[in-house]
Each structure stands twice: as structure tokens, then as C-alpha cells.
Amino acid sequence: MAQESISVFDIFKIGIGPSSSHTLGPWRAAQRFIATLKTKGISEVSAVRVLLYGSLAKTGKGHGTDVAVLLGLCGEDPVTFDVNEITPRLEQITDLKKLLLNGEKEIDFDPLVDVVFLFDESLPYHPNALTFLCSFNNGDEIAETYYSIGGGFVVKEGEENGHDGHVRLPYPIEIAADLEAACEKTGLNISGVVMENENAIRKPEETRKGVLRIWETMRDCMYRGAHIGGVLPGGLQVQRRADAINKKLTGDKVYNNFDEWLTVIRSGGQSFKYTLDWVSCFALAVNEENAAFSRVVTAPTNGAAGVVPAVLLYFIAFCDGYDEDKIIKFLLTASEIGSIFKKGATLSAAMGGCQAEIGVSSSMAAAALAESLGGTVEQCLQAAEIAMEHHLGLTCDPVGGLVQVPCIERNTMGAIKAITATQLALQATSGHARISLDTVVNTMWETALDMNHKYKETAEGGLAVQLPISLSEC
């Protein structure tokens, strides 16, 4: 099997909410289809249709899959597109029934007709599938099918995977045992080994700059989300809570930016209740922003985007971690754990339920926090194992197909479990772990295979069927 080279920037992707599998992935697929059309002549395109299968159809409206596909076909990029322009652009396309393909060729396009939701059809490779159909002026037609396999990763039908397997890494890592062996061989901690591999892909200063950009996006998302109230879009009438928690905790203290906010947070002490409230606030802030179609970082998915930033900000605010080098190491370590789960199991809730999202993100955060607090490599891997062990079997049952209930609160639970897992691992005696990280990765995958499909991001089971609301209402 060809080596799958997964970078920190594959695990952490800047994009737009609410879902990495159902929003970012389809958006990227549309961009790839546009690249194909460029080779054939966009000016010769006469019509385009999009078919959404399986999970992409069942929760596509709530997850904004149709919106993402349209923006991707327009040639927009989720990293840079102004989130305030999403609604006006969609309304323009819908009202005019016109689509400016890649920003250069206007074609007739009615979203209500030309984006087809095939609720009862699934393709065998993966539940998250979409097909682009294109007709040309000369009568030629082409079709390309893509699979959004979790965390914003996209595979075109016929491809082995979505990554360059030709990068020769100094320390190839497929399983946790490989990572542990590399650390033992080199004397480096996890983040050190990851950085060596990243250096084989690009210059060290580029990696550093890119990781800091990831952190800055997470930071801005948390700060923004903690200062916006109101009701989330979509029809469930979910009230945003991070803003109210922030106001209660900061009281009448004045601040004007993130650094001043951080000073205010630190001034409140480190009692258990106070710290717990802040970690919850951090996680809520991110995922309320995610649910509001704002800019977030997949970590490793959008639905679980709040866990890693919340634990990182906990480390910064309450463990003296506000240092660029420490932040970079935290994110490098977290990314490698996510990579191991991607290779050995899945990051897709449509394949594995929410254990593949919140469970993986909690595991990532736990390992990163353990290293940041001085843990050994073994303790870091044990922290990751503990975090996932207590998420095994977690279902994905989004009410109304929206990434709101129970998704937003689950990020707070994932963050707290990560911190608890870290503390348990740091207090443990080395060499006494009964379950390895590789064992829990394998167990997670076996659990995913056994899980009933209705608990895999279909909105057909669990909490999703307990409220009297249909997908059409959202």
C-alpha cells in the first residue's frame, strides 16, 4: 500500500461552517470539477447539474451542502470568501436562476432543479457522494463523482486516496506504534517528530507561519463567538450561549481585544468551576460560529471544531501556555493523532458516527495537552487513548440535519474529557497502560462498522427523531 502523507495542514483546514464533510468537502469537490472544466473550456459549457447521494442528501440542507457546491462552482474559495456574502450570493443565484461558472461563464441554473437530493440512493464507496454532470455546446457530456470522506478530505472516484503518496518522510507513521518508535529512535517528543516530517514537505519557516495562521483563525473564532448573542439560523431557534457565559464571567471588566480579554480571564483565578465554565465557553463560541456559517478550522472536522481550540486556550489561559513555540507544538502533536485515526479508522461521522468527530478531536487535544504539560510520549499516547475510549460508540444524530443539537454541547464535553484524560495519563505510572492507542483506533473502526446507519449523520435516529421538526423546516 502506498504511504499516505498527511500534513498538519490536512488535519487543520481553514474553511466555513457548518460541516467539513458536508460543506467544506463538497465545496472542494466543486473546485476540483471546475479544474476539469478549465481543461475542456469553460466557455463551451452549456449546463451543469449536481447529484447529492446518501448522507449528503439527507442532511445536506441543514449542513449547507447545496450552498457550498454553488459557491465552489462559482470559483470561490472557503478560506477567503467573505462569509457575509453567502446569503446575498445564494439569493442572487436563486432569484436570477443564473450561475457564473468560475466567475467567467454565465449559465442557466436553478438550484431547486439542478441540485438534486437523492435521499434514497447511496454509492458503495462512501455515504457522502456527489456527482457533477456537465453538457457542452457541441453536445459532449462529462460526469465526475467525488466522495467527501471526512474532515474536508475529498477523493475522486477511481483515486486510491486524496493525498500525495510520493513525499518521502523521514519518519513514516501509519499507526501509533510507528510514532512511538520514531520518538524513541530520535529522542524527540511527538511534536518534534512531526516537525521533521513537515520539514520534508516545505521550509520550516513556512510550516511555522502556516500553523500560526491556524492558531490565529482559531483564536479569532473563539473571541468572535464569545461576543455574539442571538439565535442561530436554521429553524431550531437555538440560542447562542457563549456570549452570555462570557458576560457573566467577565462582569464589568473592560477589554478591547483578545490579549486584554485573556488578561481578564486570568484575573479570575483557577478554581475548578471557573475554569470549567471558561472551557465550555471557548468550545461553545467556536461551534456557535460554525453553526452560523462563519470561518472556523477543521479540527479534525467542523462539527468537532471547538474541542482542540478550547483545550489549547485552556492551556494558554490557565497553564501559562501563551507562547508561539508552545502553541505550534500543541497543534503539531494534535495533528499527528488525528492523522493516525484518519489512517486507521475514519474522520467521517457518516462512516463512524460522532466518535469519529468529537472522539477524535478529544483524543487529539488530550495528547497535545499532555505533551504541553511535560508528559512523556507514552503518557501522551495514553491520554489520547483514554479520551477516545470514553467516546466509543458515540452516535451522530443531528436534529433537523443541523450541526447544532447535540453537536455544539458535545464540543464542551469533548474538551473537558480531553483535559481529564490528560490528568489521568500524567498521574499514571509509565508502562502500566492496559490498552494502547492502536487498540482503541482499531476498536473505534470495528464499532463504526457495527453501528446502525441511522446513527451515522443521517438525522434518522437518536435525538434527531425526538423533536417534531423535519429537514424541510431547517
Q: Where are the beta strands (DSSP E) in 67-175?
A: 98-101, 105-108, 115-118, 128-136, 141-150, 153-156
Least Cα distance to 290 among 300, 277, 303 occurs for 303
Q: How far apart are the first and last CA of the chain?
A: 43
Q: Where are the beta strands (DSSP E) in 160-274?
A: none
Residue labelled with grid coordinates 474536508: 152
**In contact, 306 and 415? CB cutoff 8 Å:** yes
Say yes or no to pLDDT of 175 above 80.
yes
Q: What domains appear along the chain, each with residue ranges and CATH number?
A: 8-156 (3.30.1330.90), 176-473 (no CATH)
**In contact, 304 and 429? CB cutoff 8 Å:** no
Give the Cα separation of 348 and 301 in Å (integer).
Answer: 8
| Each residue's pLDDT tens digit, 280-338 | 999 999 999 999 999 999 999 999 999 999 999 999 999 999 999 999 999 999 999 99
How many residues in total does the chain contain?
474
Measured CA to CA in angstroms, residue 45 lies from 100, 104, 110, 212, 351 at distances of 11, 11, 16, 41, 35
**In contact, 12 and 331? CB cutoff 8 Å:** yes
What does the pLDDT average to over 67-75?
96
Cell output for 204: 520550516
| Each residue's pLDDT tens digit, 178-236 | 999 999 999 999 999 999 999 999 999 999 999 999 999 999 999 999 999 999 998 89
Q: Where are the beta strands (DSSP E) in 157-301?
A: 295-297
Give the Cα separation of 468 and 345 in Å (integer).
Answer: 34
Say yes or no to pLDDT of 274 above 90.
yes
Share of the chain above pLDDT 70, in %: 96
255 half-sphere exposure, CB direction, 13 A CA radius = 18
- Name the average pLDDT for the chain: 94
Give the Cα separation of 9 and 364 in Å (integer).
Answer: 14
Residue labelled with grid coordinates 453536445: 139
